[in-house]
Amino acid sequence: MPQETPLPALDETAWKDLVSRFDGRMWAVARACGLSATDAADAVQGAWLRLVESYDRIRDPSRIGAWLITTTRHEAFRLSRKTRNEHPVELPDLGDPSVPDPSTAVVDAEYGRHVWARAATLDEPCRTLLRLFALNPDARYAQIAARMNMPLGSVGATRTRCESRLRALLEESP
């Protein structure tokens, strides 16, 4: 029975030596388990990670190759089970995205009418301010302030308060 001695610290040279000695075999094991190249890369990477995590617990340096191969096989089986349990879902054909969906357009239009009906119940300046921002999304605060005859510095705060009021109305209505 070989004597158990702790492995030396992994420096860059030792790490490169391990990779050059065992990486090809690890890849062969992962691919032999039926994994795609991407999944095989994940299995091999997972095995190297397990080595880093478990390095201080490996007591027989002569068995590190067998340990890496076994760990790669375990990682490959784990990934294989995960892939096997994933069932692709048949996605519906959404058609040409440039052609609007009539049912979506109806729902959007109905919701728009609902929002505008609630906005119409707001007091001034909220009613006009929200309408200006909705109809002119690129308008600058300076333009809105001049149109509403209000200080430039109060446009943002007023807009926030008005949007909060409208949001509350929409949440309480059916």
What is the residue-wise DSSP string for 92-135? PP---TTSPPHHHHHHHHHHHHHHHHHHHTSPTTHHHHHHHHHH
Distance CA(91)–CA(80), nearest Å, equals 24
- Region 167-173: mean pLDDT is 85
Confidence of residue 164 (pLDDT cuts 50, 70, 90): very high
How many of the other CB atoms lie within 10 Å of CB of 63? Answer: 13
**pLDDT greater than 70 at residue 2:** no
Pairwise CA distance, residues 24 & 65, whole Å: 11
Reply yes or no on whether the pLDDT at 82 is more than 90.
Answer: no
**Average pLDDT estimate for 143-155:** 90
- The confidence score (pLDDT) of residue 160 equals 93
Domains with residue ranges and CATH for the chain: 8-99 (1.10.1740), 100-173 (1.10.10)
Side chain identity, residue 6: P
pLDDT tens digit string along 90-121? 555 656 656 666 666 666 778 888 888 999 99
Q: What is the pLDDT of residue 121?
A: 92
Percentage of the chain beyond pLDDT 70 is: 79
